[in-house]
Amino acid sequence: MSLRTRLFNIYWTLRSAIVPTLRYSQYSYEESLKRYVGTSVEWVEIGCGHSILPSWRANEERQLVKTCKAIFGIDYDLPSLKAHRNITKKLRGDVTKLPFRSEAFDLVTANMVVEHLDNPDEQFREISRILKPKGVFLFHTPNAYGYGVILSKLVPEWLKGKLIYLLEGREEHDVFPTHYKANTESQVKALAQANGFEILQLDLIPTDAIFAMFPPLAAVELLWIRLLMTQPFRNLRTNMIVALRKAT
């Protein structure tokens, strides 16, 4: 058994003792996604990277892709795009100018992408343009008031890639600049109103500990996460899952 596996086993033991009801936010996002994917749905994954869901949910991702009528993936990073496992119709492009006709899609999704948008007002408008009336824009992103974002802003850029690799096992070439311009509840509401969306879902949720690989830190972090799960600390939860519906 590797050291990493042993450390994770310690973390799961701590988590089950301190916050037994905690769920990884990606599972919550997957549940939301399944509500909007159907046999008649034409779907675009924005910033599709090399997967829609985490790698260990590859089978579930394949089933989702098979369920919809059609799916396109778009990303500016060509190596990530080429590595995508399940989307065959892939385009390199910018969210600011999407290469699709107006009112073409029922669903647009973005999993941990909105935090990278540098001009969300223009980019939300472009997403609205390609959605059919009553089409849905679903996204999962960090909450700018969460401790993860606050800590990340304190870390020098040259060190971020190395820390992310240590904490998450994600390679440095898979780390991109963040802007957090659409990452608070108030920002999302303002962007929705300005771009013809109504809010179907705006959930602030916690997720697993950042410092899972370091048991003493993880124990303290899990105690904080337990507080975040109470209503008074709702605005400080780490992640957001948002569903916006385009007006008719």
pLDDT in tens, 190-212: 999 999 999 999 999 999 999 99
As beta bridge partners, residue 91 has 74
Half-sphere exposure of 222 (CA within 13 A, CB side): 23
239-246 and 131-142 beta bridge pairing:
antiparallel
The pair of structure tokens assigned to 48 is 């599709």
When computed from its CA atoms, the radius of gyration of the chain, rounded to whole angstroms, is 18
Whole-number Å distance between alpha carbons of 22 and 227? 11
For residues 42 and 69, the answer to whether their CB atoms sit within 8 Å is: yes
The average pLDDT across 207-228 equals: 96
Q: How many of the other CB atoms lie within 10 Å of CB of 198? A: 12
What would the pLDDT profile of 66-89 be if each residue is shown by its tens digit? 999 999 999 998 888 888 989 999
Portion of the chain with pLDDT greater than 90, in percent: 80
Query: Per the confidence metrics, is the pTM higher than 0.85?
Result: yes
What would the pLDDT profile of 52-61 be if each residue is shown by its tens digit? 999 899 999 9
**Domain spans of the chain?**
3-246
Burial 80-112 (b: 16+ CB within 10 A, else e): bbeebebbeebeeeebeebebeeebbbbbbbbb
Which residues, in sequence order, are CB contacts of 1 under 8 Å at separation 6+? none
As a CATH number, domain 3-246 is 3.40.50.150
CA 68 to chain centre: 20
Whole-number Å distance between alpha carbons of 80 and 33? 22
pLDDT over 70 at 171, yes or no? no
**Mean pLDDT estimate for the chain:** 93
